Amino acid sequence: MVRSSVLGYPRIGVHREWKKALEAFWSGRLGESGLHEELQAIRLDHLRRLKEKGIHLIPVNDFSYYDHVLDTAVMFGIVPRRFGYTGGAVPLSTYYGIARGLKDAPAGEMTKWFNTNYHYIVPELDGAEPVLTENKPLLAYREAREKLGISGKPVLLGPLTFLKLSKGYAERDTDAWIGRLLPLYVQVLRELAEEGAEWVQLDEPVLVTNVSEADVQRLKRIYETFASAVPRIRIMLQTYFESLEHYRDIIRLPVQGIGLDFVQGGEGNLSSIRAHGFPEDKVLGAGVIDGRGIWRAPLSGKLKLLRELSEFVSPERLIVQTSCSLLHVPVTAKGETELPAGLKNALAFADEKLEEVVLLARALADGGAADDAGLEAADLALDLLQRSPERSRGDIQQAVAAILDQPTERSPFGVRQTEQRKKWKLPLFPTTTIGSFPQSAEVRTARQSWRRGEWSGEQYAGFIRGQIDRWIDLQEEIGLDVLVHGEFERTDMVEFFGEKLAGFAFTRNGWVQSYGSRCVKPPIIYGDAAFVKPMTVEETKYAQSRTPRPVKGMLTGPITILNWSFVRDDLPREEIAYQLAYALRQEVEALERAGIGMIQVDEPAVREGLPLKEAEHAAYLAWAVRAFRLATCSVQDTTQIHTHMCYCDFHDMIGSIEAMDADVISIETSRSHGELIGSFETNTYRLGIGLGVYDIHSPRIPPVEEMTSMVERALRVLEPGLFWINPDCGLKTRGAEETAASLRHMVEAARIVRAKY
Ligand code: GLN
Ligand code: ZN
């Protein structure tokens, strides 16, 4: 027999019941016991599915009330001091307080889980004295056994990864922290062993990043402690998202299993095994089914890979599993009846992946009997998709190849700057916004009426024009220098373009958790991406017709569209980025032809695509920059290209941002506590730059002085002639009144600072 396993299952439920329960609880519509009941029902339903599909090692404790990293911190009593925790079980109100913030205590910082779109709450170790508040994995294990007779595989975040993801301690104290956490982990594991758990999965994804020699020594200490303190439990040391670093050291650790990703970083892991073999006393968790992509697996190819692995590890010691937790894919593709058949049949969401894992485990055990109909069906479905006309468009491929042959240089910035100054005659420190204005209930209702067919297209377009009129008037009255149309016609900055480009499809129910109860439904790029007809010209041109001031066109950039979509896996991402860039370039040119002379191409997601291995950063940034330039380089010198990025850690990226060669970049600053300005201090940035002067994440109306001091601080570092004044990010989620009031303050701040120069 060959065993099957998965690393984790989505939490959100088939119809996002999880999200709805959380939000009902937060709003007071559902009491605490009601919440526990609803979440338990969801959890048990998941476990039943895993059991029915025939998975051998069923994960437990992968479920969470918000986020599994927060769960781990709370389990160890690591609660930031501002929440007034004094020991004992952590109340639910404190748990959600850390996640979402309380009146006097800001939420814990949220950040991206490796290179995924899932966000976790960063544990704050500062001042904490860890204790075991509750053995959560034990409760999950017990529940599965008592309710469903399942002897599950508890999943825990491993100690090294937990520490590396935490903040509030100095690097030199790492070993002391390991010393504090180890006894708690040992207690958790011991209680699990006593309860009868056979395997536990300890997630150490940090081992695919650039860990040091010292960290390898720490791992030895950690896993040797577990082996001697809890010899009865079998540990699967699980890694994912890339190939394992320090392979030879890690496979010698005293654990019973090593889990490797054979999808992302598959080549690296495979070559490590080929070069160094795999120890005979261990089980290999072979992550061959992609836990992050949404495509059906080419099963006969996967079987071949497993066969190769079984030359190094005998089949009884192989566990066929997903490459990572299924948290990153939607629950089931079953309801997606509206997609073209060729596409629908090629999809595998979480439930379909369970079937793939089981099928492969069975096929491998059969040895040779590859006539399984399931394997053939998968290959056939992928083959059909591959042969669909959208998948490969000669016209697009040729056109993209042709522009890739041309240089992406615009005239030097100095030349453009002179031309643009002549043309636009903007004041010093021009004021502008990032693009969107409040999407009121009225806007959302109008869109629904139109989508449901109750409103005609013309009626809806008329409504949108009305919104544009209102906000153009308001922007003029407030005194902004560069106006925007307000993005009222867009729900989402990627979906809007995806719906208008060729090569995209949209699911009905393909939701995945992004952070907390917030789910996203990324578009699917399944064919060659291509421009069909102008997407933004009508609204932008209309807005420009209402004012003598410049109206900035507003597009989402190629890398952001790429990074926020589910992407086909038969082409390199780089190539897809160029297709998107070519499509957007046609939109940029259409806007320019329509008389729009300032065009913003938003790229908030550039950093998100950064590979986990540092050695690969430069190559990624090079093609990301090239894609942006392809999209924007064909305009006249007088046409001003803007871009926007939300806050991220820029310090090691400024060279690449500069290489994008946008005439103006606007950046979010308020959440960076001045670090951002520091980055620009050490790296002289020579293009136009707007540092956000107020945080748009809260309804607060910042006083004028706060903004002037923000500007003055930035001007100590940045050249006045290049400086723009704008809010941090789009204003879509804000109310109309607070938006107008804040912008008035911002324009006033600009006037005050101008008077001093
Ligand atoms: N132009 C977009 C907006 O204003 C930018 C959003 C973003 O940066 N995420 O909403
Ligand atoms: Zn932003």
pLDDT band at 19 (very low <50, low <70, confident <90, very high): very high
Checking if the pLDDT of 83 tops 80, the result is yes
Q: How many CB atoms lie within 10 A of CB 187?
A: 16
pLDDT tens, residue by residue, 281-314: 999 999 999 999 999 999 999 999 999 999 999 9
Residue 276: DSSP 8-state: H
| C-alpha of residue 2 to centroid of ligand 2, in Å | 48
Residue 573 has pLDDT above 70, yes or no: yes
Whole-structure pTM value: 0.95
DSSP result, 427-476:
PSS-B---SB----HHHHHHHHHHHTTSS-HHHHHHHHHHHHHHHHHHHH
Cα(667) to centroid(ligand 2), Å: 7
User: Whose CA is closest to 150, among 201, 194, 199, 187?
Assistant: 199
The per-residue pLDDT for range 449-506, each reduced to its tens digit, is: 999 999 999 999 999 999 999 999 999 999 999 999 999 999 999 999 999 999 999 9
| Residue 158, C-beta contacts closer than 8 angstroms, at least 6 positions apart | 202, 203, 204, 222, 237, 238
Instruction: Say if residue 608 carries a ligand binding annotation.
Output: yes
Q: What is the pLDDT of residue 679?
A: 75
Q: What is the 3-state secondary structure (H, E, C) of 236-285?
A: EEECCCCCCCCHHHHCCCCCCEEEEECCCCHHHHHHHHHHHCCCCCCEEE
Sign of torsion over alpha carbons 570, 576, 577, 578: positive
Query: Quick one: pLDDT band at residue 369, thresholds 50, 70, 90?
Result: low
Distance, in Å, from the CA atom of 470 to the CA atom of 544, rounded to the nearest integer, reads: 13
Residue nearest ligand 1's atom 6 by CA: 730
Pocket test of ligand 1: the residue of 434, 485, 514, 665 to mutate, having most ligand atoms within 8 Å of its CB, is 434
Verify whether ligand 1 is closer than 6 Å to residue 434 (CB atom).
yes
152 pocket-lining for ligand 1 (C-beta < 6 Å): no
Q: Which of 368-382, 415-429, 592-606, 652-666 has the lowest mean pLDDT?
A: 368-382
16 annotated among ligand-binding-site residues: yes
**pLDDT band per the 50, 70, 90 thresholds, residue 368:** low
* Residue 673: per-residue pLDDT: 59
Strand partners, 615: none
Task: Please check the confidence at residue 370 and state whether its pLDDT lies above 60.
Answer: no
State both tokens at 492: 């989402």
Strand partners, 201: 155, 236
SS3 503: strand
pLDDT digits over 182-191, tens only? 999 999 999 9
Residue 137 CB coordination number (10 Å): 27
CA of 550 to the centre of ligand 1 (A): 19
Sign of torsion, CA 57 518 529 389?
A: positive
Q: What percent of the chain has pLDDT over 70?
A: 98
- Residue 618 tokens read as 């430069």
Q: What is the pLDDT of residue 373?
A: 82
What residues form DSSP beta bridges with 167?
Answer: 124
Determine the average pLDDT of the residues in 101-110.
Answer: 89
**What DSSP string runs through 48-110?**
HHHHHHT-SB-EES---SS-HHHHHHHHTT---GGG---SSSPPHHHHHHHHH--SSSPPPPE
| 439 close to 730: Cβ distance less than 8 angstroms | no
Lowest mean pLDDT among 438-442, 684-688, 723-727: 684-688
The identity of residue 28, as a single letter, is G
What is residue 684's predicted lDDT score, i.e. its pLDDT? 75
Establish whether 712 is an annotated binding residue.
no
- Say whether 697 is catalytic: yes
Identify the band that residue 106 occupies on the pLDDT scale cut at 50, 70 and 90: confident
Is the ipTM, as predicted for this complex, more than 0.90?
Answer: yes
Q: Is 602 labeled as ligand-binding? A: yes
Ligand nearest to C-alpha 434: 1
Q: How would you label 227-258 residue by residue, b for 16+ Cβ within 10 Å and e otherwise?
A: eebbeebbbbbbbbbbbbbbbeebbebebbbb
Q: Is the pLDDT of residue 676 over 80?
A: no
Q: Which residue reads 């009491």 in tokens?
A: 31
**Which ligand 1 atom is the nearest neighbour of the CA of 554?**
1
Annotated ligand binding at 518? The verdict is yes
Which atom belonging to ligand 1 lies closest to the Cα atom of 433? 4
* Number of residues that this document lists for the chain: 757
pLDDT the model gives residue 142: 98
Tokens read off for 658:
């500069």
What element of type H or E holds 530? Answer: strand 524-530
pLDDT of 652 strictly over 60: yes
656 contact partners, CB below 8 Å, separation of at least 6: 606, 621, 624, 625
pLDDT bracket for residue 682 (50, 70, 90): low
State the distance from the centre of ligand 2 to the C-alpha of 731, rounded, in angstroms: 9
Residue 232: φ, ψ to 5°: -75, -20
Query: For the segment 221-260, what is each residue's pLDDT rounded down to a tens digit?
Result: 999 999 999 999 999 999 999 999 999 999 999 999 999 9
Q: Is 602 in the pocket of ligand 1 (CB under 6 A)?
A: yes
Residue 680: in which H helix or E strand, if any? helix 675-682
- pLDDT value for 695: 87
Rounded to the nearest angstrom, the gap between the alpha carbon of residue 234 and the centroid of all alpha carbons in its chain is 32
Q: Is the pLDDT of residue 647 over 80?
A: no
Percent helix, strand, coil in the chain (nearest 5)? 45, 15, 40
Three-class SS of residue 29? coil
Which residues are placed with Cβ below 5 angstroms of ligand 2, an ion? Answer: 604, 646, 729
Confidence (pLDDT) at 503? 97
Q: What is the pLDDT, as a whole number, of residue 674?
A: 65
For the segment 743-753, the average pLDDT, to the nearest whole number, is 98
CA triplet 741, 743, 745: central angle to 5 degrees?
Answer: 75
Confidence of residue 672 (pLDDT cuts 50, 70, 90): low
Average pLDDT of the segment spanning 320-339: 96
CA 253, CA 251: separation in Å to the nearest integer? Answer: 6
Q: What token pair was written down for 553?
A: 């066109």
18 C-alpha to center of ligand 1: Å?
28
